[in-house]
Structure formats: C-alpha cells, structure tokens
Amino acid sequence: MEDLSRYYTLLRDPARRKIIEILGVQEKIGFKELKELLGLGVGTVYYHLDMLSDFIAQDKQRKYKLNDRGQMLYRILKDGSVPAALEMSEAFSHRIAKWLFLSPVFAKTSKPLNLLPVSVAILFIGAVGTAYAELDSALFFYFPYSVYNFTSMMALYFFNWIGFFLFVELSTFLLYHRIGNDLQLFTCLGLAAFPMAIFPYIYLFMSNAYSQYVLLILQIWSVLLVSAACCFGKGLRLDKAIVISLTAIYLNIAVLFILGRFA
C-alpha cells in the first residue's frame, strides 16, 4: 500500500481539500468553473492542480476528474482518517517551510493588484540601497566599487529584475507550456526580491568578509522564494519551479564568469 503520509500532506492545504471535494461530488468540472468555485487566481489553481496531478485526470473535453488514486484520496478526506500523531510530527516542519517560502504572502497574490505596490516598493528599496552602497548589482550578486552614477545603479537594478521576469516567462513557456498570468508572476517576483533588496543595507554596516556569508544565505533564500514565485505565479509544482530558479542562478554565474567579474 502507498505511503499515506503523502496523502495527508496534500490534504493539509484547504484549497486542495476543496478541489478533491468538488471533484468527488461533481465527478467532472472545467477549469473556469473550478476557478470560480475556489475563488483563487489562475496561477494558484494551476499550482494546486499540478500538486494533485497524480490523483486527477482530464477527459477529451479537458474537464478534470478524479482517477482511482484520487477516489482513494477523496475517501480518506470523507472518513477524516488522519492519525493525530502524524499531524503532530509534521506540524512544526510544515510551519517552518510555509514561512521560509512565504507561502501565506504569495497566496495573497491571487489578486495581484493588492500586492503589486509592495513588490514595486521592494524593488525600489533594493535599487536605492544598491546605489547608496555603491554596489554593482547582477541579479543574485553584488560587486563593490561601482563606476556608475547613482541613477545608473538604480536603473541597472530594475533592469536586472525586469530581465529576470522575462527569463522566467520564456522558461516556463518553453519547459512547461505555461502562458498568461503575467501580472501575478511579476508581483510574486517582486516579493521574491526581498532578500537581495535588503543586502545593500546590511553591507553598509558589516565588514566585507562577514557580508559575503550573509549574501550567501540571502542568495539561498532568494532561490527558494523565486521557486515559490513560480509556483504561485505560473502554477508550477515546486520540483518544476526550482528548475527555473536554479537555472537562473547558474546562468547568472556563467555570465559573470564570462564577463570576468569573479576574477
């Protein structure tokens, strides 16, 4: 028998529970109707459907339905047979992961205009900090002693993240054929820029040796947040989203090596 702990982990999320309940009751449903019943954004619905991909199927009319494993998941949900010991053992790690990936914040981007000003503010704070600290920004990296003026350094920072947004758009289309939902993705990526946006301010008050360790920690956190941004902005499962973020940082490193910035 399959490890039921995976079932319980999936059912822990209320949106996924609701999807299973809807499909269990209605048997078949189209994406538009499902989205309206859930009251979630396009990317968020795709994300949850992707998470449940082993338990659902689509018919010739592309309507969603539960497969045999999904029916078992629905029965578990109806029976309420989640062992208390399992819930206790997973609760702490689940809460840590939730806030490490800022999932509650990204979930609110289903209405992207609500958080778009916050995303733009984060990018602006990062741009000002970069210019004030006189750092050359290169997406996930910073280099001291910039030769650019204040305005140019700010523009370079914005250019990096806009270019990154376009890279994610292209990558998700080429790899996973996901299109649309651009505003939510942009909002999510702006939120994901938070760790890199605060680094210039940390750099101003720390020695160069210690600041490099801090930068490494913030880079790792940024990769996780970018992965979460792809999950919510493009509806990708985490294992697919992290391919995008890791590819981005590897390309970032490769370009900087070619330009001789690590010499």
Alpha helices by DSSP H, listed for the chain, are: 4-11, 14-26, 31-38, 42-51, 68-79, 84-100, 103-107, 112-132, 150-176, 182-192, 194-204, 208-234, 238-258
64-66 and 135-138: which strand pairing?
unpaired
The amino acid sitting at 14 is: P
What is the pLDDT, as a whole number, of residue 1? 41
Q: Is residue 192 part of a domain?
A: yes
What is the pLDDT, as a whole number, of residue 7? 63
Read off the pTM: 0.76
**What φ, ψ does residue 29 adopt, rounded to 5°?**
-160, 145
Q: Per-residue confidence at 90, pLDDT binned at 50, 70, 90?
A: very low
Residue 143, SS3 per DSSP: strand
Q: Per-residue confidence at 194, pLDDT binned at 50, 70, 90?
A: very high
The number of folded domains in the chain is 2
Q: Which domain holds residue 71?
A: 4-98
Do both 188 and 147 map to the same domain? yes
| 252 torsion bin: left (phi>0), alpha (psi -120 to 50), beta (else) | alpha
Beta carbons of 25 and 65 less than 8 angstroms apart: no
Nearest CA to 140 out of 213, 201, 220, 208 is that of 220
Output the average pLDDT for the chain: 85
The whole-number average pLDDT for the span 63-82 is: 78
Of the three residues 63, 82, 98, the one that is the final residue of a domain is 98
The count of other CB atoms within 10 Å of the CB of residue 87 is 12
- Lowest-confidence range among 5-19, 151-165, 185-199, 206-220? 5-19
What is the pLDDT, as a whole number, of residue 88? 39
**What φ, ψ does residue 172 adopt, rounded to 5°?**
-65, -30
Do both 120 and 57 map to the same domain? no
Q: Is residue 263 part of a domain?
A: no
Summarised one tens digit per residue, pLDDT across range 105-121 is 888 887 889 999 999 99
Do both 43 and 62 map to the same domain? yes
The whole-number average pLDDT for the span 126-134 is: 95
How far is the C-alpha of 72 from the C-alpha of 66, rounded, in Å?
Answer: 9
Return the CATH number at 50: 1.10.10.10
- Beta bridge pairs of residue 226: none
Do both 228 and 132 map to the same domain? yes
- Please name the residue that has the structure tokens 């490769």: 254
